[in-house]
Amino acid sequence: MMVLTVLLAVLVGVSLGLLGGGGSILTVPLLAYVAGMDPKHAIATSLLVVGATSAVGAVSHARAGRVQWRTALLFGATSMVGAYGGGHLAKFIPGHALLIGFAVIMVATALAMLRGRRTDTAADPGRKLPLAKIAAIGLALGLVTGTVGAGGGFLVVPALVLLAGLAMPVAVGTSLVVIAMNSFAGLAGYLSVVHIDWALAGMVTGAAVVGGLIGARFASMVNPDLLRKAFGWFVLVMAAVILGEEVDPVVGYVAAALIGLAAAMTFACNHIAACPLRRISPRPTSAAGAV
């Protein structure tokens, strides 16, 4: 199981480097269900693995000019405060409840990413969010990060894409800076609650770093819209896995079946003109074509 854990950790890094998130979504279940850690130890170790991997991946994205530093540093600074507090708050919440809350947040975020932005209300990619708004969002995301052990990528990337109007590749690079700051702050809070197996954490982190370098190299080669949608479906699948493990296997099977059905219908409606769902949810008219 140790070898399998290390090998799967490479995929964690690829996810972080390619998507700017998903590392914790993979790492927490990996450590809890494959390595056999209890939820709180898995969450604390995940914060270390994801933080280190994100820091290394952020360097590659920064060299390619895919980091908006103003947003990253403000998001990161305010979210570190929330993450540190969340790490302390976790001592009062059962591990089982933490994982269920983790899955619920994943579902909400995935649906937002799949929906995307309407073209008539899309933010200007070059605009800057007000400092107060960035700080408030960062603080809230940090609190979630520190509490449920998510590095924040699956929340930060949608926030940067949907609210700040960043292109997906830039959102990915920027989120890695925020994730690293969040994760280390959350870890500092958790160290007062649990003790980490540093040997195992070191092996998993090393494998994830290798994967992160691989993912970062290919991040700019993937279509941004395709990347956003793939991210959304990926998060939904992982949410189904966690719900199946923590609530009931039947819940997981039903959730997986619904996700598969939704994916099939989405694919069909994107390729079949006669799809009835197009009448229910017509595509928004672009500003250029509007009268």
Q: Give the pLDDT confidence of 91-146 residue by residue, as tens digits.
A: 777 877 877 877 887 787 777 667 765 433 344 444 556 677 777 777 877 787 67
Section 55-66 average pLDDT: 84
Task: For residues 150 and 186, give the distance between their C-alpha atoms in angstroms, rounded to a whole number.
Answer: 9
Q: Which residue has the higher pLDDT, 200 or 291?
A: 200
On average, the pLDDT of the chain sits at 75
CA-to-CA distance for 242 and 249, rounded, in angstroms? Answer: 10
Burial class (CB in 10 A: 0-12, 13-18, 19+), 195: exposed
Structure tokens at 146: 């520190």
Query: Residue 270 belongs to what H/E stretch?
Result: helix 249-271
- Token digits for 195? 């003790």
Q: What band does 55 get if pLDDT is binned at 50, 70 and 90? A: confident
* The pLDDT of residue 129: 60
pLDDT digits (tens, 9 = 90+) for 204-245: 889 888 887 787 777 667 776 777 677 778 778 878 877 887
Q: What is the pTM of this model?
A: 0.66
Per the model's pLDDT, the better-predicted residue between 285 and 283 turns out to be 283
**Contact 289/120 with Cβ under 8 angstroms?**
no
Distance CA 173, CA 16 (A): 10
Q: Measured between alpha carbons, how far is 79 from 76 in angstroms, rounded to an integer?
A: 5
Angle of CA points 180, 186, 128, to nearest 5°: 50
The alpha carbon of 282 is separated from its chain's Cα centroid by a whole number of angstroms, namely 29
pLDDT value at 246 more than 50: yes
Give me the DSSP letters along 55-122.
HHHHHHHHHTT---HHHHHHHHHHHHHHHHHHHHHGGGS-HHHHHHHHHHHHHHHHHHHHH---TTTP
pLDDT given at position 289: 36
Residue whose C-alpha is closest to residue 15's, from 137, 167, 179: 179
What is the rounded distance in angstroms from the CA atom of residue 169 to the CA atom of residue 153? 13
Q: What is the DSSP string of 6-42?
A: HHHHHHHHHHHHHHS--HHHHHHHIIIIIS---HHHH
Confidence of residue 287 (pLDDT cuts 50, 70, 90): very low
Which residues, including other chains, have CB under 8 Å from residue 264's CB and lie 6 or more apart? none
- Residues 7, 2: Cα–Cα separation, whole Å: 9
Per-residue pLDDT at 25 exceeds 80: no
Contact 93, 133 (CB under 8 A): no
Tell me how far apart the alpha carbons of residues 43 and 87 are, in angstroms, rounded to a whole number: 10
